[in-house]
Amino acid sequence: MKDVWKDIEPEVKKINKKKLIITTIVVIIAIAIIIIVGLYMTNRDVRDWIDRNIFRKEVEQDKAITIDFNETLNSNVYAFNKYIGILNQTKFTIYGNTGNKEEELEIQISNPIFSSANRFLAIAENGGQRLYLISDKSISWQAEIDGNISQIFVNKNGYVAVTITGTSHKAVIKTYSPDGKEMFTTFLANTRAVDISISNDNKYLAIAEVDTSGAVIQSSVRIMSVDKAEKDPTNSLEKTYKSEAGKLITNIKYQDKNKLVCMYTDSVSIIENETENELVNSNDKKITFQSIDLENSVCYVEEKSSGLFTADSIVNIVNADTKETKQYLVNYVAKEIYTNGNIIALNLGTDIEFVSTGGWLVKRYVANQEITNIVVSDSIAGIIYRDKIEIINL
């Protein structure tokens, strides 16, 4: 019988060289990316080199987009949304992020105070009666108010609150709808209004108050229902939160999910689910700056000695939802901070570092002279010099 097994040759599997080469390259690239990402996350020198040379996050003076500017004309500069606005002699000129003039509005205000959120910008005469709401690049409405305007606030949907003094009451707060309709008025007979804020869902008005009539300062936060106030302002109080005697409240801000962040001179707390809990306590820390004017975060800058004559600035960013803290370190003493939306701008003298609330560098601006004045929104910044404004797109 013929042995059939002798006629069967073993099959040799051919290697697909092209596929092998492609797979090897992909694996090498993946490993390289993992290493680079790891170094970027953990090594400051590597991160600075990549930010400067690959991501192009560093902008030098005289190499940015500029707006011609003459500071001697008593101009007021403000950054909002994606624009830079310059108010000068009743003309409010709006520039885009390319430095081109996009609109010019007639604003009868000489000493302005500003408040912005989303595409809305409120402008009022500080100590005067005029109030304007701008939506994107046009005037939505304007109003004349009895009394002296001391403070304004606009939320991201265009609802406006105005604090008025110089009346028979200690303070009066008027609230307006996005179309300029006066919704209701709140009177404070014995306390001074320190700050005001409207919730992002337009349901609540919060008023930070200080009572100085007693031997010790008493701070409190009053929460008003907007719906109830429209029907009956005298019965619209939802709740009042009193702080410890002697604590001085300075700012309040509604963030998402109706969380109300309250800043005191020595701490930051958050009111949610009808309870107030402390987020930051600065009693045992050398805190140079703190801000709650951010999107769902608060930040504070802590100064720590790094040598005999040197110190670092540590930016601590606390997430209002998770309560987790992220840190960003700079090897200089911060001279000033500016915050808006998700951006924290650190003025380091001749440098400005723009940091996200995630704790990462967004842009670095390097000047050859001392920087004294900047304006910041969530997507644009302006570095103000005597004869020009340099635009930084964030």
Question: pTM for the whole thing?
Answer: 0.88
What is the structure's pLDDT at 343? Answer: 96
**Dihedral sign from CA coordinates of 302, 303, 307, 308:** negative
Do residues 319 and 359 touch, judged by C-beta distance below 8 A?
Answer: no
Do residues 362 and 326 touch, judged by C-beta distance below 8 A?
Answer: no
Residues with pLDDT less than 50, the chain:
1, 5
Q: Which two tokens stand for residue 323?
A: 């309560």
Question: Strand 361-366's sheet: what is its strand order?
Answer: 58-60, 361-366, 351-356, 343-347, 336-340
For the chain, report the end-to-end CA distance as a whole number of angstroms: 86
Q: DSSP of 364-390, one letter per residue?
A: EEE-SS----EEE-SSEEEEE-SSEEE
Cβ atoms < 10 Å from Cβ of 220? 15
Q: Which two tokens stand for residue 247?
A: 């604590």
Cβ atoms < 10 Å from Cβ of 55? 13
Burial class (CB in 10 A: 0-12, 13-18, 19+), 162: buried
